[in-house]
Chain A
């Protein structure tokens, strides 16, 4: 966190000064470890075993917060009789289809429930848990029923002992127990603990399940919805949270509404019915959706034309980034927009990305400087090796200079869902323009052309009928970002800005560009621009910026009070039921219907949030409970399970199933894996672990830092970090050069020999890790090979993110070969990998078909 989020880390330091214990778990001793109380070195790719060990510790030692668990989680809920756990099936859950490498999740459901008709199982649903059928699943509040979630959880993690953690993660058991006890001792009525994570957890073939395991720990300890608790995702850029809320993702519309599928829906009602839940706040999806249609198509979205549902673009499958890249490589994709993204450096398997872009007809790159993704056609390692020739590349590259955040108005949404407005400090130079300017005028010109050529063609109506009337200012005709924010926040029939999403209507009288952001322009005031100093308000800071939804700083904060509505303790008092005034109150906006008493019991006709009990704080979930067990919504299992990474030097110590059986893999010559699927590599070809990361001094793919003298000089060259043991084993010289090799490519880096990257002892042998920062590329002031070129494409099945925090590699002293000799070096490794005895490589590959 100190490495990549130094400004946010000041609050960790504040917490430490007030007595908090800071625990840092990382394969490397970083700037964060330097300031932590406890540093826990871990083998890359083994975090579920570590966190699962904590779950087991909590359960076996009865350290869970029983009242919280029974009342607020689905611990008591009973699961279908035909559910089978990975403990029963040696590493897969029931419903696994080996041919499709996918699960039929019907056996995972709550007892007595069926999957909603028409929606494929495991479909991505954004921020919400899956809808569950109306009605109440059976429960055993004594937590004794053998099929209740609590007992299943116990059974699932029973083998995740301190010994197993030590054997799998390389964490000495005394250190593990110290961490587990520190967490338990700091949780309960009087105290809370928080988890902070970043892409070290997400970028795995089981990335979503890493976070899920932390969620289980936090639920068992009662650390969700309470001050000082939670699981905080530290995002990779200033407004990545914002770009998920108002998404740049292919499968979502603003506010986590699913993108419609081309064949699945008969109309807007069918779409809403199949994606909403009768209980909880998703019961209002129709209000959210129709208000969005009114914001986008205004008078052209009416009840008569199904609220312009037909105008929305459609998806017809998985169009996630790497699937799209593979489509480019195979020749099916003609054009590509890259606004502020640099896949030639920032994406896994850089070569594959560059070769893919070289097959496009056109490519638009908008960035602050000429980045590698704009220059690959004349400057790249493929030009150097002869794999690409400039004359043969058909791609027409349009490089358009972009304005930076200081040169435009706009908002950032940070990890705690906080919107903060920023104002133009200086005008952009020359032809540099904001993204808002670019897309607004692009749309304006396209509309002009369509209107001139074929105004009556129904195909053009979705574009021509858009509300595209933002006011522009100045001689550059810069669109008003303020006007965009007003539209996002929404207005009623009288044009008055809305105060909250609860004012949204399904009759077309309200318009709102993103329901969760509704109210950010409440009272006609840009709430996101508020900057009341901390001295002039409570520690919650409700008047600094604006947090979605409804300026709530902690989600599900009803859980900060006990079932009767009283604070769990005075020390952790946050939101409570005021008996005299008969409403919820507190130091934050209550994340609950304000007048719904703790003893509320829903009637038979109750809908949406009214259909939840007054004791059910998780208002976005259809059963109002936090999910220890996820009956639906995930593709790879209701419980997180330890699987080895795609590339590993160890056998899975728990199951014959080596890796996540439903992970996404790509079979392509440019994407060879270091070992056969579901095998492990311990014969010395790729004997070392590889992990990539960022440094404080640089920003992601380097476009904003390697081009700036003052930053480039601070970390002027690509280096790799190795332990003294590995340096001795491979004769690597401190300050000299090393070549790091995988079946994708080889790169060269300067060597830093340091104790900060510990060798860990796993399954009885010492294993070394090669650490590589990924910031470098061929453009800018400070240049070097790209660390991500080493990595394969192997993805998490839920969110399609690449596994780039755990892979395998070889390392040797000296610089890498130049030109075609580089290809020969890699080809040699590939041949030897292919020639390996099938026993090792295919040790487990036949098993999947047996199931």
Chain B
């Protein structure tokens, strides 16, 4: 018998993908996308569309390396970015000389802890699920589009044909049945790992340490910090370069962060105005 579970140097960890505790209570679930082992096969994009019945996004050749998807949108809930760089393959290997680097990374909705889309939704179509994920309910969404401008990552997108907003649900229906999301299940190298967020976080930190020990000094986590501008991502990443290189905002901030202050300021202004008006009337009486 060769037990390989629990070994941090091995990719095929045996993480429990069940979305419920044994007592039936739900767990906070998410993705850890380790781009250091992504091979850019796009199986995640296809599996997502197959399971969620997402329409195709049209036959458009972009010329942007092997990326013809372009970005996350209403019809592409996973998006694999391809970044061609002329730089050493591995920092640890000085002999490698001037090499090429081809970064690949599967992007997805971050399922933010402080989700602006959720804050601004006037109908309650967007809601936080029992798995701590953020989902749009299609039968309630009225297509107002407030969430589109609220998302700091440009994930939410309105489908022209039906006017509603569509995005990754982290396969809410599958989670309810204790199945892992379609993209994670299809990923051949387990670059996309699904599991309880706390377990994934521990795994991700271990993985970064391992890579640093191997001389991959560029490895870093993105969205794992629970104190970041959106309170941490439910779907976080291991990147090999600055987030900007992948088209990701380096320091995302929940766009509704100042909403309370704004309402406070507005209330203060309204109060001052009311006082002024009252004062004017009172003065007249004199």
Task: Give A contacts to B, CB under 8 Å.
Answer: 2, 6-7, 9-10, 13-14, 17-18, 29, 31-39, 174, 178, 534-539, 695-697, 709-717, 719, 734-735, 750-752, 754-756, 781-782
Does the CB pair A7–B188 fall under 8 Å?
A: yes
Does the CB pair A696–B1 fall under 8 Å?
A: no
Does the CB pair A34–B188 fall under 8 Å?
A: no
Does the CB pair B61–A713 fall under 8 Å?
A: no
Of the listed stretches B21-29, B52-60, B246-254, B269-277, chain A binds B52-60
Does the CB pair B56–A713 fall under 8 Å?
A: yes
Instruction: Point out the residue from A14, A710, A713, A717 that lies within 8 Å of B10, measured CB to CB.
Output: A14
Residues of B within 8 A of A6 (CB): 39, 41, 43, 188-189
Does the CB pair A755–B86 fall under 8 Å?
A: yes
A sample of 21 inter-chain contacts (CB < 8 A) reads A6-B39, A9-B39, A13-B11, A13-B39, A18-B9, A29-B102, A31-B40, A31-B66, A34-B39, A34-B103, A34-B104, A37-B90, A535-B5, A539-B2, A709-B56, A713-B57, A713-B58, A715-B66, A716-B61, A735-B63, A754-B84
Residues of B within 8 A of A754 (CB): 65, 84
**CB-CB under 8 A for A178 and B95, given A35-B37, A37-B90, A714-B68:** yes
Residues of A within 8 A of B42 (CB): 696-697, 714
Tell me, in angstroms, the Cα distance from A716 to B1 when the chains sit together: 46
Residues of A within 8 A of B41 (CB): 2, 6, 31, 696
Does the CB pair B61–A750 fall under 8 Å?
A: yes
Tell me, in angstroms, the Cα distance from A709 to B59 when the chains sit together: 8
Is residue B46 within 8 Å, beta carbon to beta carbon, of the partner chain?
A: yes
Instruction: Point out the residue from A10, A33, A695 that lies within 8 Å of B190, measured CB to CB.
Output: A10
Task: Give B contacts to A, CB under 8 Å.
Answer: 1-5, 9-12, 14, 37, 39-43, 45-46, 49-50, 55-61, 63, 65-66, 68-69, 84, 86, 89-90, 93, 95-96, 99-104, 188-190
Does the CB pair A38–B84 fall under 8 Å?
A: no
Residues of B within 8 A of A734 (CB): 63
Q: Nearest Cβ distance between residue B245 and chain A, in whole angstroms?
A: 15
Residues of A within 8 A of B14 (CB): 535
Kindly list the 9 A-B residue pairs having the minimum CB-CB distance in the complex, ordered from nearest: A735-B63, A716-B59, A709-B56, A34-B102, A6-B41, A2-B39, A717-B61, A10-B188, A539-B2
Q: Nearest Cβ distance between residue B193 and chain A, in whole angstroms?
A: 13
Tell me, in angstroms, the Cα distance from A653 to B216 when the chains sit together: 41
Tell me, in angstroms, the Cα distance from A32 to B189 when the chains sit together: 12
Residues of A within 8 A of B9 (CB): 17-18
**CB-CB under 8 A for A10 and B66, given A710-B49, A714-B42, A755-B100:** no
**CB-CB under 8 A for A34 and B46, given A17-B9, A713-B58:** no
Q: Nearest Cβ distance between residue A652 and chain B, in whole angstroms?
A: 30
Q: Nearest Cβ distance between residue A413 and chain B, in whole angstroms?
A: 20
Tell me, in angstroms, the Cα distance from A373 to B47 when the chains sit together: 30
Residues of A within 8 A of B101 (CB): 34
Tell me, in angstroms, the Cα distance from A713 to B58 when the chains sit together: 6
Residues of B within 8 A of A13 (CB): 11, 37, 39, 189
Does the CB pair A10–B189 fall under 8 Å?
A: yes
Residues of B within 8 A of A716 (CB): 59-61, 68
Does the CB pair A719–B56 fall under 8 Å?
A: no
Tell me, in angstroms, the Cα distance from A709 to B50 when the chains sit together: 10
Residues of A within 8 A of B39 (CB): 2, 6, 9, 13, 31-32, 34-35, 696
Tell me, in angstroms, the Cα distance from A714 to B47 when the chains sit together: 13
Residues of B within 8 A of A735 (CB): 61, 63
Specify the chain B residue showing the minimal Cβ separation from A8.
B188
**CB-CB under 8 A for A538 and B1, given A713-B56, A719-B61:** yes
Residues of B within 8 A of A534 (CB): 4
Residues of A within 8 A of B3 (CB): 535
**CB-CB under 8 A for A713 and B59, given A31-B104, A37-B93:** yes
Tell me, in angstroms, the Cα distance from A726 to B2 when the chains sit together: 51
Residues of B within 8 A of A29 (CB): 100, 102
Specify the chain B residue showing the minimal Cβ separation from A712.
B59
Does the CB pair A38–B96 fall under 8 Å?
A: yes
**CB-CB under 8 A for A39 and B102, given A13-B11, A716-B68, A754-B84:** no
Residues of A within 8 A of B50 (CB): 710
Residues of B within 8 A of A539 (CB): 2
Residues of B within 8 A of A18 (CB): 9-10
Residues of B within 8 A of A782 (CB): 59
Tell me, in angstroms, the Cα distance from A31 to B14 when the chains sit together: 26
Does the CB pair A31–B1 fall under 8 Å?
A: no
Residues of B within 8 A of A7 (CB): 188
Tell me, in angstroms, the Cα distance from A781 to B9 when the chains sit together: 43
Residues of B within 8 A of A178 (CB): 95
Specify the chain B residue showing the minimal Cβ separation from A30.
B102
Residue with the highest number of chain A CB atoms closer than 10 Å, among B1, B49, B90: B1
Residue with the highest number of chain B CB atoms closer than 10 Å, among A14, A18, A34, A751: A34
Tell me, in angstroms, the Cα distance from A295 to B88 when the chains sit together: 59
Residues of A within 8 A of B46 (CB): 710-711, 714
Does the CB pair B2–A714 fall under 8 Å?
A: no
Specify the chain B residue showing the minimal Cβ separation from A38.
B96
Tell me, in angstroms, the Cα distance from A39 to B102 when the chains sit together: 12
Tell me, in angstroms, the Cα distance from A13 to B96 when the chains sit together: 20
Q: Nearest Cβ distance between residue A37 and chain B, in whole angstroms?
A: 7
- 5 extra interchain contacts, Cβ-Cβ under 8 A, other than A39-B99, A538-B2? A31-B41, A34-B40, A712-B59, A716-B61, A717-B59
Specify the chain B residue showing the minimal Cβ separation from A717.
B61
Residues of B within 8 A of A537 (CB): 1
Tell me, in angstroms, the Cα distance from A34 to B3 when the chains sit together: 30
Tell me, in angstroms, the Cα distance from A537 to B42 when the chains sit together: 32
Residues of A within 8 A of B45 (CB): 710, 714
Residues of A within 8 A of B58 (CB): 713
Specify the chain A residue showing the minimal Cβ separation from B1.
A538
Does the CB pair B100–A750 fall under 8 Å?
A: no
Specify the chain A residue showing the minimal Cβ separation from B85.
A755
Specify the chain A residue showing the minimal Cβ separation from B104.
A34
Residues of A within 8 A of B56 (CB): 709-710, 712-713
Q: Nearest Cβ distance between residue B240 and chain A, in whole angstroms?
A: 11
Q: Nearest Cβ distance between residue A21 and chain B, in whole angstroms?
A: 10
Residues of A within 8 A of B84 (CB): 754-756
Residues of A within 8 A of B100 (CB): 29, 33, 39, 755-756
Residues of B within 8 A of A711 (CB): 46
Specify the chain A residue showing the minimal Cβ separation from B5.
A535
Q: Nearest Cβ distance between residue B152 and chain A, in whole angstroms?
A: 27
Instruction: Point out the residue from B59, B60, B90, B190 that lies within 8 Å of A781, measured CB to CB.
Output: B59
Q: Nearest Cβ distance between residue B207 and chain A, in whole angstroms?
A: 10
Tell me, in angstroms, the Cα distance from A37 to B99 when the chains sit together: 11
Specify the chain A residue showing the minimal Cβ separation from B86.
A755
Residues of A within 8 A of B90 (CB): 37
Residues of B within 8 A of A10 (CB): 11-12, 188-190
Residues of B within 8 A of A719 (CB): 61
Q: Nearest Cβ distance between residue B5 and chain A, in whole angstroms?
A: 7
Q: Nearest Cβ distance between residue B3 and chain A, in whole angstroms?
A: 7
Residues of B within 8 A of A174 (CB): 95
Q: Nearest Cβ distance between residue A607 and chain B, in whole angstroms?
A: 40
Residues of A within 8 A of B89 (CB): 36-37, 39
Specify the chain A residue showing the minimal Cβ separation from B89.
A39
Q: Nearest Cβ distance between residue A340 and chain B, in whole angstroms?
A: 22
Residues of B within 8 A of A538 (CB): 1-2
Specify the chain B residue showing the minimal Cβ separation from A736.
B63
Q: Nearest Cβ distance between residue A688 and chain B, in whole angstroms?
A: 21
Instruction: Point out the residue from A36, A696, A709, A713 that lies within 8 Å of B40, measured CB to CB.
Output: A696
Tell me, in angstroms, the Cα distance from A32 to B57 when the chains sit together: 27
Tell me, in angstroms, the Cα distance from A9 to B189 when the chains sit together: 7
Q: Nearest Cβ distance between residue A775 and chain B, in whole angstroms?
A: 13
Does the CB pair B63–A750 fall under 8 Å?
A: yes
Specify the chain B residue showing the minimal Cβ separation from A13.
B189
Does the CB pair B10–A17 fall under 8 Å?
A: yes
Instruction: Point out the residue from B11, B43, B68, B188 that lies within 8 Å of A713, measured CB to CB.
Output: B68
Tell me, in angstroms, the Cα distance from A435 to B135 when the chains sit together: 44
